[in-house]
Structure 1
Amino acid sequence: MILSGCGTSDPLGGTGNCAGDGLIVGSANFPESETVANVYAEVLRVNGFAVDTKLNIGSREAYIPALRQCAISVLPEYTGNLLQYLDNGATATTATDVDTALGKALGSDLAIGTPAPGEDSDAVVVTRATAERWNLHTIADLAAHAAEVKFGAPAEFQERAGGLPGLKKNYGLDIAANNFVPIADGGGPATVRALVDGQVTAANIFTTSPAIAQNDLVVLTDPKHNFAAQNIVPLFNAAKKSDKALATLAAASAKLTTTELTKLNEAVSGTGKTEPRAAAVAWVAAQGLNTPIG
């Protein structure tokens, strides 16, 4: 069953091939995914693998079929979102529960490596001034001020389980419809600017965004795990998984903390605008991963 899709045409315009020892590292079409994919490619090369890359493929609807068909061999994924893609009825949110559920949802043609400690998860973020004025530490602390809160997030945040419905259910944070401000950049610059300029009081921004530190923003803690864990994990076509590849990427994953992911994002998306491959090569060297793993 592992090999059942390996001779069919793939979504990238070629024919998948599960044979051979070489690996093709893929990525989704956003900078963090491309950068981590380059980290994977670099450490695999250092450890003797023949590596090609197919980056910026697109969404899961494009790259999961490509992975199943061996058009790519491995790419960085996010545990919580991958679980939801594979099982849209999944309710797990803690890292342990997500990993357990994901193991059951992968099927026979996909396999994961060791998740990194770092994750790029949804968060409720406020300015330092707001946090100090209302003595905010957790999302629950914001609930007492809900009537005063204008909340900025993508439009779908109003409806999805981990969005406004989850914040109301888990923390009593009830945002009125006229206090929700839809912003369509996925927690990017427009969302950050709306928060910093006071157009919104709180916003949905991802935890590895360099803008959090750059603007001295405060991430409110989520002790009830409203937002699913999103640890970065290597996702393989199961036929391309090997003990050596798993060990090699586990060594890289161990270094990919949330802080280090944020640094990589800052290098690529900050003022320096380093190319993802150059940022990855520099990071691999700085982490001592530029020599073969013992």
Structure 2
Amino acid sequence: MTTRLLRTATAAALLLGAAACSSSGSGDPLAAPSTSAPAAGSGKTVVIGSANFPENVLLASIYSQALKAKGVKVEEKFNIGSREVLYGQLKSGALTVLPEYNGALLGYLDAKNPALTGGTEAVNGALATKLPAELALLDSAAAQDNDSLTVSQETATKLNLKSIADLAGKSAELVIGGPPEFKNRSEPLLKDNYGLTFKEWKPTGETTANALKDGSIQVGNVFTTDPKIVTLKLVTLTDPKNIFSTQNVTPLVNKAGVDATATAALNKVSAKLDTNGLTELMKRVAVDKEDPATVAKDWLKTNGLI
């Protein structure tokens, strides 16, 4: 989404304002839980948070309803903010579970890590060495939502754009947009790897795809499961240098707040969730304007999880 990936003037502003297949590849992160971890059925409330974009809210709702179906007490705190805000809250125990994107999380913790250009197991293996003792990854879903640089069909045709590399020598005349944190996260990566410097960066958030279509920006950070890529006939540029990494949807948990019942329920969600399914869910949320909680419930029923 996501990434989303990937972070600090913008991050600081967000912090003040708050007051984007395979299992994880790192074994069972909860095999030796903290002595403070609640036993199954302890009745401890699991607090599920989400970032402030629709897909992450949808994923958080899927997690929440899957846990409730197993008798876990849940409190929902959705639409909180960016990773820069959420990560600290999870580490402190104010939140218990977050829907994360493994490559984006690794990029946040270690932007130079060589595993970023690898697959799910490489990314999760590297993450296992970077996470603090309080946190753990559960199983990654096959579903991925990658960051991208995307353009309109008109811009792609006019400038002969197929990959991010094709923006070299052209970016200085183009306006780029995306979520506010995208600039700090990705501007250095684009400059260092592709030599790109843009005319202007605009914070466009959820309106990025529409801004590409109406021409107010020429390049945008659109998550690859965004159904508007299809409905607005946008063109996602390939990323030959893999700066946006693998982005499997992955539950990130505070180990002291989840028990075996919660862990199993979340891993079953990951086992069922793939990219095509997530894209279809996002069409219902983003295009058809259905309630994320209703969409989440339908998916869980269809997959036998509630």
**Deviation string for 1:44-65 (max 9, x for gaps)?**
2333433332333334454334
Please give the per-residue CA displacement for 1:102-144, whole angstroms capped at 9, x wherever unaligned. Answer: 111112111111112223322111223444556543323444x
Aligned to 1:123: 148
Equivalent positions of 1:71-110 (< 5 A) are: 71-87=94-110, 90=113, 92-94=115-117, 95-96=119-120, 97-110=122-135
Amino acid at match of 2:165: A
Identity %: 40
Q: Distance in 2 between matches of 1:204 and 1:30?
A: 13
What is the deviation of 1:78? 2.1
Alignment partner of 1:203 is 2:249:
no
1:227-266 mapped onto 2 (5 Å cutoff): 227-266=244-283
1:31 aligns with 2:46: no
Distance in 2 (alpha carbons) for counterparts of 1:27 and 1:194? 25
Residues 62/257 of structure 1: CA separation in 2 closer, same or farther (3 Å cut): same
**Structure 2 counterpart of 1:277, from 289, 293, 304:** 293
Distance 1:67 1:98 in 2: 20
| Contact residue 91 and residue 134 of structure 2 kept, 8 A | yes
| d(CA) in 1 for partners of 2:93, 2:250 | 18
Change (3 A) 1:58 1:151: closer
CA contact 2:135–2:254 (8 Å) conserved in 1: yes
| Structure number, greater radius of gyration | 1
In structure 2, distance between residues paired with 1:149 and 1:123: 19
**Shift of the alpha carbon at 1:211?**
1.7
Q: Which residue of 1 aligns with 2:302?
A: 286
What secondary structure is seen at the aligned counterpart in 2 of 1:118? coil
Distance 1:243 1:224, change over 3 A: farther
Partner SS for 2:80: coil
- Alignment match, 1:153: 177
Mark the runs of 5 or more structure 2 residues left unpaired by the alignment: 1-17, 20-35
- Following superposition of structure 1 onto structure 2, how do residues 178-197 of structure 1 map, counting pairs within 5 Å? 180-186=199-205, 188-189=206-207, 191-197=208-214
Unaligned runs of 5+ in 1: 1-11
For the 8 Å contact 2:281–2:295, the answer to whether it is kept is yes
Q: Can you list the C-alpha shifts for 1:54-84, whole angstroms capped at 9, x where unaligned?
A: 3333344543344334333212122233234
Partners of 1:118 and 1:65 in 2: CA distance: 25
Contact 2:204 2:211 in 1 (8 A): no
